[in-house]
Structure 1
């Protein structure tokens, strides 16, 4: 068999589930006795991703002790879990560089921004494609289920891991084979039934800011979402959380306290840490300070769990922040083709995230330009452009856009042009990539016009066409000055960055 990186990706991509089963799925009932052994449920929907992970790890040759020996910091949450995970890895790496331990760090995040191998990092570097392929085919050789196309009608052990489960298996395998001694592990979307929650004894567990997201899987309300996310808490592992806001229907922090108490732990809520550098672009906007504070607390809890006498130093903290990078999150990029065109990219994909993205964009453009605010509705003084796309059967893209439009209006960041697009990177000349109908496009138009009626609206069939349209708008303006916000999904931001970096 062809054992290239490209073939590995072909097999992994072929393991995607066509669509998520609903709560009434006939395949759900037989799984419950297996799933519920020693576990409670809260709004279980479909087949939990945790099912099968132990068996597949054993087939690959890894025991629970092998996983526990990775000395894991496990991170769940709604907003900022990727940034928090990356900060924690960076702090650990900075500490290890000074003291000699940890000697090698690992980071697993999801989803990727541009290339799939970005999900797995060793010592702050994305794993190279040769090792990615080599380690994948080690798994492939030990899991005969991967030798046939994914068939959801088969029992779960026979059908083998799905796409995300396979990525998690690959990450564990790589970290073990590479002798990593400190791993920061980000959950996919949930917690209790997430495939990453196969870890029995993490050293530290951390919950980032919670909000309404993945409601179809974890909901219907904040009580259920908090319950699921806190499923990563384990006996013997430090339990940490960002300070949480109360929901109308429940006290989120009380749910987390109760879940930690059930594991004989006391959850500690982490406020902003004053030791973080006062002036650091990596800590803007303010939410990044919260993420970094939680990551720093997790790092110190990890050092305590490992019995390290040396505390993390001010130099370690500064180095950890300075070397930290998380592309696609609050990222500012210059346009290589247009001198006075600046791109603002944030992969916000839920109501909480897009509101923060709007505030960030408004603050950045107000501070970094002499363009009038609010901007005139013409090309005479420059242009503010939004490129937006969000395609997800579990979220309402129209409602999400409405939240973004309202947040931008309230921040006085008025948009002159808005460009709606799809996830296709190039225009194939056929039907839109997601099959969105014209009435659905009109719903997006209507949602936008409620808050920002003066914008000119464009529809483009591909991300490449959307970028080209934005550039043309800037070039045709009198000032040739543009500020372009790209948000709505990581599947949009990644390809836009790839175009800008080409």
Structure 2
């Protein structure tokens, strides 16, 4: 089988199977020889910020001379991005080898009546197989949907759990309130396994603290008072931590998202917990340099001069985006290019965008997914909340061309609303033919 045939097979999985129970995933892992065994796993859940926290953890671990494995989702351009070793997606050859091992096991188990793993479960199995073979010093697992019932939660006892910011998202599956969603995310907390979490939401924090106490998990909560913003520009953000050993260190991130100060603070606290000993000034220095160099695609990423790509795709992320734009104190954006999927609270996202960062022009488009919201529907909703021009273009390429044309020379253009949109722009506009 070729690499492309393997990818095609994986992309067909959603058509003939569905998500399964954790016991099903555990049986799947047993069939693979329990590749998760003996791995030092850092398990990360949350609504927003999971990927950024994982990226910061990876960078600091590698700055300490450690090797890392990282399982993440979704991918923006190429499926290999979901399984990384030392910050790099696995090669096509490594991807294919892992696929063949997992496919052989699945075929054998299917013959015994075992249901085929879902798309996410299959890739998770592949990731654990790769990490078991490569033996990274640490394995970072990012949950997909939720936490309690997520396939990644089939691992027995991670080294540490981390929960990032929590807001309303996937309400059809996780619950309609912050407390309900927090309970699902808190499902990754394990008996006597230390926890670090984003305490921005009092409602979510109460649920998380209660679950940690039930599990006897040492708990460290990071609130908005744990750090102070020192500087924010359209290229970077700088902050210091309050009442910490490193309170004289200015941490710099190559990102203008104000929410990244919280994500980085959570990651630093997790690293302190992993160290299990006082962190030296030299180590803080290594971490400081590592964080300054982190680049995380699709998060307030400047992809062309004055054009930014942000993965904000739910109300909490849109709020964080608006906070960042307002913190920069910039003029009205020239253009906002927007798309969404139907299972998101896209009307509330649109309302907040129009009210808090009104653009001179809005361009709406559609992604290549069965859950896409038609461009005309988005146009109609935007027109409920703004009297500025709203242009609907069904094709991404046409929308991009029109948006760029509408951008003023000194103005800014922001593309957001869906991670699928971010991926399509990177794949079809920035890397055509790749």
TM-score range, shorter chain: 0.7 to 0.9
**Pairing 1:404-483 to 2, within 5 Å after superposition:** 404-408=353-357, 414-424=358-368, 441-453=375-387, 455-474=388-407, 480-483=409-412
User: Which of the pair has more CA radius of gyration?
Assistant: 1
Deviation of the 1:49 alpha carbon: 5.1
| 8 A Cα contact 2:311 2:422, kept in partner | yes
Q: Where does residue 86 of structure 1 map in the other structure?
A: 55
Residue 129 (structure 2) pairs with residue 199 (structure 1):
no
Distance 1:435 1:359 in 2: 26
1:282 corresponds to which of 222, 232, 254: 254
Deviation of the 1:218 alpha carbon: 0.8
| 8 A Cα contact 2:178 2:204, kept in partner | yes
Distance 2:414 2:94 in 1: 36
Q: Please give the per-residue CA displacement for 1:96-141, whole angstroms capped at 9, x wherever unaligned.
A: 2xxxxx3x21111111111111111111111111211121111112
Taking a change above 3 Å as real, the CA distance of residues 405 and 299 of structure 1, as seen in their structure-2 partners, is: same
Deviation of the 1:317 alpha carbon: 1.4
Taking a change above 3 Å as real, the CA distance of residues 471 and 309 of structure 1, as seen in their structure-2 partners, is: closer
Q: Where does residue 493 of structure 1 map in the other structure?
A: 422
CA RMSD of aligned residues (A): 2.7
What TM-score results when the alignment is normalised by the length of structure 1?
A: 0.76
Q: Please give the per-residue CA displacement for 1:203-255, whole angstroms capped at 9, x wherever unaligned.
A: 11111111111111110212211111011111131111112323xxxx32221
Distance 2:378 2:16 in 1: 25
Moved over 4 A (4+): 17-20, 145-148, 307-312, 362-365, 432-437, 479-482
Deviation of the 1:404 alpha carbon: 2.4
| 8 A Cα contact 2:141 2:152, kept in partner | yes
Gaps of 5+ in 2: 228-240
Count of residue pairs the alignment pairs up: 411
Q: Where does residue 214 of structure 2 map in the other structure?
A: 262
Taking a change above 3 Å as real, the CA distance of residues 138 and 278 of structure 1, as seen in their structure-2 partners, is: same
| 8 A Cα contact 2:336 2:362, kept in partner | yes
Residue 298 (structure 2) pairs with residue 328 (structure 1):
yes
Residue 42 (structure 2) pairs with residue 73 (structure 1):
yes
Q: Where does residue 355 of structure 1 map in the other structure?
A: 319
| 8 A Cα contact 1:203 1:236, kept in partner | no
Distance 2:410 2:378 in 1: 27
Classify the secondary structure of the residue corresponding to 2:69: strand
Deviation of the 1:326 alpha carbon: 0.6
Distance 1:490 1:268 in 2: 30
| 8 A Cα contact 2:23 2:154, kept in partner | no
Residue 335 (structure 2) pairs with residue 385 (structure 1):
yes
Classify the secondary structure of the residue corresponding to 1:70: coil
Q: Where does residue 348 of structure 2 map in the other structure?
A: 399
| 8 A Cα contact 1:212 1:222, kept in partner | yes
| 8 A Cα contact 2:251 2:292, kept in partner | no
**Pairing 1:18-167 to 2, within 5 Å after superposition:** 50-62=22-34, 66-96=35-65, 102=66, 104-144=67-107, 158-167=114-123
Classify the secondary structure of the residue corresponding to 1:280: strand
Taking a change above 3 Å as real, the CA distance of residues 266 and 423 of structure 1, as seen in their structure-2 partners, is: same
What TM-score results when the alignment is normalised by the length of structure 2?
A: 0.87
Taking a change above 3 Å as real, the CA distance of residues 259 and 419 of structure 1, as seen in their structure-2 partners, is: same
Distance 2:37 2:69 in 1: 14
Deviation of the 1:289 alpha carbon: 1.1
| 8 A Cα contact 2:10 2:119, kept in partner | yes
| 8 A Cα contact 1:387 1:487, kept in partner | yes
Gaps of 5+ in 1: 21-46, 97-101, 149-154, 336-341, 367-372, 376-383, 409-413, 425-431
Distance 2:268 2:329 in 1: 30
**Pairing 1:301-316 to 2, within 5 Å after superposition:** 301-304=273-276, 313-316=283-286
| 8 A Cα contact 2:253 2:293, kept in partner | no
Taking a change above 3 Å as real, the CA distance of residues 189 and 407 of structure 1, as seen in their structure-2 partners, is: farther
